[in-house]
Chain A
Amino acid sequence: MESELNRALGRVDMPRRRFVRLVGAALVGGAATSLLAACGGGGAAPTPAPAKPAESKPAEAAKPAESKPAESKPAEAAKPADKPAQAGPVAKPKAGASLRILVWSHFVPAYDEWLDNYAKQWGETNKVEVKVDHIRNADIPARLAAESAAGAGHDLFEFQAVLQAATYQDKLVDLTSAANAVGQKYGGWTDIGKKFGVIDGQWKAMMTYAILQPHIYRKDYFAEVGYDKFPDDYPTLLEASIKLKEKDHPCGLPLSNCNDGNHNWRSVLYSFGGAEQSEDGKKVTIASDETLAAIQYGVELYNKGMTDEVFSWDDAGNNRFLLSGRGSWIDNATSAYITAKSQAPDIYNNSAIALNPTGPGPKGGRRNGVDANAWGVWKWANDPDTAIAFIVDWYDQWQEWGKVTSGYNSPPLVDMWKKPMPGLEDPDFKIMEDWRELSFVAGWQGPFHGAIEEINSTFVMPNMFARAVRGETPEAAMKWAEGEYKRIFQQHGIGG
């Protein structure tokens, strides 16, 4: 099957593109190998390839007793990484090992093709049997639960938006040395990368990328009602939305049980200054004047700017809404915009991407609720070092995956944010280069922990707004949400 798929994908690829990628990967890979060799072995190993098969034999022979030593390896590897300023070989892939990777079906399909090819090449280079499985993002939590119960399945996987590193911390390999190495190489992790990656002082998950949620709007419709660009603050956005709906061009933020609903409404809440919990993640702070203001704003925006279809949207609802030509603006990852390019060129030409507006009030600001993904390695992985080595090498490909996703994959490390960023060459996309300080994941102002996970996956946030829109008073909706937050915090053993 895998080979069939690859063949099919290969057929689709332009031969030249593929060649460039191969060369690129070879160059990067070669550079990385020689760098590693230089640090580890005094720089006298320009041809590491022939040495590997010889090494692999004893490694294979040691297989029966592999599980325990494998677990202890990251700790050993931590020592060289502690030496400052040198990204030492954190982990070496073991020749003959197998590596099974679980990722989501990426919203930009080109990335899946790229990753499959890259993984295949990586496997060939390192004599590792690599297999990548893609599943629907919504099904990942169930799948991880099953793998956790079975103590089997994949070796390496990617959390998608539901970042359960805290839940699974006991079953995840400590990635501290790898995270430190990668961090040192690229100027340190961004704030959100640190926020959910580190659990009790250990790196349990390494952020792969964030998915920014810019506002995608119709330039022509906004011009029609007198705005030459997307409004820069929420009150003006409301004014514009009212005028747009009168022209039969409503806007839309999903008020349904879907992930877009989760972060879309967090953008509103955070921008108004409403916070879910205290900085230490111990206290629920959802009930506040700022939250109330945000809910009131949401109700007004719904009543005057949207239609009831937002109640039934799934994650793709707002995309179709924009692609149909009716919608005036949505808050969504750029995938909608990228899809428009091929499916509806007219709409693409008349659309643009805008920064998150600023919220009013003393605590108001420009804060965008984003999704983030992260690598995790199961403790029962066939060979954790191989998985870690794959991860570390994957970060070196950041230019590549930035390009194939047109910047949809927003990088997790500070140095990767130097302009110009790969994939954002389109002048329209330029503004996303300024997004680093705007990005917030669920659970602001505290860390992303187990209780926040549950709040996220039971859609408390969009439902708080939905209840107010459906007729409850904003106070009652907020009180309901506070009750849910406190109940869930309590059930996770957090004070609340």
Chain B
Amino acid sequence: MAALAAAYQPRRPSRLRHVRKRALVYAGLCFYAFIAGLPVYWMFITTFKPDQDLYNLRAFPLFFNQHGVTLDHITLLFNRTGFVVWMRNTLVVAFAVVLITLLVSVPAGYALARLRFRGAESLTIGIFMTYLVPTTLLFLPLVKVISWMGQFDKLGALILAYPTFTIPFCTWLMAGFFKTIPFEIEEAAMIDGCSRLGAIRRVILPLSLAGMLTVGIFAFTLSMQDFVYALTFVSSSDQKVVNIGVVTELIRGDVFYWGSLMAGALIAGVPVAILYSFFLDYFVKGITGGAVK
């Protein structure tokens, strides 16, 4: 990333131009950070603000007021709901989905990108088309399949269902990555005496690590984004994932537990963002340091 950015530095900037440009970039970034961060800041404030201040129209909304800071909302979230279990379930589902997705899409992506066989072209399109099938259309018929597999109202239902949208997309993504690896590298390895499988193992897979990481991240995010499947396949408190748990148990029609809702959103969302930031760096570095030059 640093190396990449260096390429964008102007060659011989005059000092003034340099300073002005920096100021502009920072101003732009601040603007974006404001837009992206405001809702998160609002979550943060709501999480720690006592109800008396939260619903007081005369209180200054952007910071804490006369009643100070409270941990009540977080206490409620942790002690009176299954939040901890939902978080654990979310992680279990997400990692299982990532694993299934990788196991299925990496080989498929490789085959579609680099092997010529009958029907490869139409398969590629066919697989991607399945990504277009809306979840709203699928979920009721899917219920029958899921229950036939004995997974209804279990985490397994989600682990089975989410790859239906991660596999098509990630297969395409992997195919894209495999395409960027020059054929010569693989051929060279095979001329050097590797079998094709050997070449895949020793050359192609290491080179596409960054791609796999990206795919993993996408599968992870996608499985945290779903709402419809999680809403309908699972309703036992101890089998819920976090976004459904928070929304279904903290909204009671007449009563929104805004403090706890925001606490849930904050605690579920921010760690993923940190993880993401970390992997994003790796991902960008992985590509720049990789085969594509």
Chain A directly contacts chain B within the complex, with at least one CB pair under 8 Å: yes
B237 pairs with A1, CB closer than 8 A = yes
A131 pairs with B236, CB closer than 8 A = yes
B237 pairs with A145, CB closer than 8 A = no
Task: Confirm or deny: B140 has a beta carbon within 8 angstroms of a beta carbon on chain A.
Answer: yes
Q: Give the shortest distance, in Å, between B106 (CB) and chain A (any CB).
A: 32
Partner of B55, one of A143, A151, A344: A344
**Given that A151-B147, A152-B153 are known contacts, is A105 also in contact with B248, CB under 8 Å in the complex?**
yes
With a CB–CB cut-off of 8 A, which chain B residues contact A139?
A: 231, 248
Chain B positions 79-99 with a Cβ under 8 Å from a chain A Cβ: 79-82, 85
| Complex interface bits, B31-51 against A, C-beta within 8 A gives 1, otherwise 0 | 000000000000000000001
**Given that A102-B235, A135-B235, A339-B255 are known contacts, is A1 also in contact with B249, CB under 8 Å in the complex?**
no
CA of A70 to CA of B252, assembled, Å = 35
CA of A160 to CA of B254, assembled, Å = 13
| Complex interface bits, B249-286 against A, C-beta within 8 A gives 1, otherwise 0 | 10111111000000000000000000000000000000
B144 pairs with A149, CB closer than 8 A = yes
CA of A9 to CA of B233, assembled, Å = 27
Chain B positions 220-238 with a Cβ under 8 Å from a chain A Cβ: 231-233, 235-238
B82 pairs with A324, CB closer than 8 A = no
Task: Confirm or deny: B131 has a beta carbon within 8 angstroms of a beta carbon on chain A.
Answer: no
Partner of A136, one of B51, B141, B146, B251: B251
Partner of A315, one of B57, B141, B153, B254: B254
Chain A positions 290-335 with a Cβ under 8 Å from a chain B Cβ: 314-316, 319-320, 323-326, 332-333, 335
Task: Confirm or deny: A382 has a beta carbon within 8 angstroms of a beta carbon on chain B.
Answer: no
A343 pairs with B52, CB closer than 8 A = yes
Closest to A11 in B: B79
Task: Confirm or deny: A107 has a beta carbon within 8 angstroms of a beta carbon on chain B.
Answer: yes
Task: Confirm or deny: B143 has a beta carbon within 8 angstroms of a beta carbon on chain A.
Answer: yes
B238 pairs with A323, CB closer than 8 A = no
Chain B positions 129-176 with a Cβ under 8 Å from a chain A Cβ: 139-141, 143-144, 146-147, 152-153
CA of A335 to CA of B255, assembled, Å = 8
**Given that A105-B248, A135-B248, A343-B51 are known contacts, is A145 also in contact with B253, CB under 8 Å in the complex?**
no
Q: Give the shortest distance, in Å, between A58 (CB) and chain B (any CB).
A: 28
A316 pairs with B80, CB closer than 8 A = no
B80 pairs with A153, CB closer than 8 A = no
| Complex interface bits, B182-198 against A, C-beta within 8 A gives 1, otherwise 0 | 00000000000000000
Task: Confirm or deny: B247 has a beta carbon within 8 angstroms of a beta carbon on chain A.
Answer: yes
Q: Give the shortest distance, in Å, between B157 (CB) and chain A (any CB).
A: 9
| Complex interface bits, B104-146 against A, C-beta within 8 A gives 1, otherwise 0 | 0000000000000000000000000000000000011101101
Task: Confirm or deny: A14 has a beta carbon within 8 angstroms of a beta carbon on chain B.
Answer: no
Partner of B254, one of A5, A145, A335: A335
B232 pairs with A9, CB closer than 8 A = no
Closest to A332 in B: B254
Closest to A342 in B: B51
Task: Confirm or deny: A46 has a beta carbon within 8 angstroms of a beta carbon on chain B.
Answer: no
**Given that A8-B80, A146-B233, A343-B51 are known contacts, is A1 also in contact with B254, CB under 8 Å in the complex?**
no
The 5 closest A-B pairs by CB, nearest first: A1-B238, A150-B147, A315-B253, A146-B232, A149-B143
Interface residues of B (CB under 8 A from A): 51-52, 55, 57, 79-82, 85, 139-141, 143-144, 146-147, 152-153, 231-233, 235-238, 247-249, 251-256
Interface residues of A (CB under 8 A from B): 1-2, 4-5, 8-9, 11-12, 100, 102, 104-107, 109, 131, 133-139, 142-143, 145-147, 149-154, 259, 314-316, 319-320, 323-326, 332-333, 335-336, 339, 343-344
Q: List 6 A-B contacts (CB under 8 A).
A: A8-B80, A104-B253, A137-B253, A146-B140, A150-B144, A323-B55
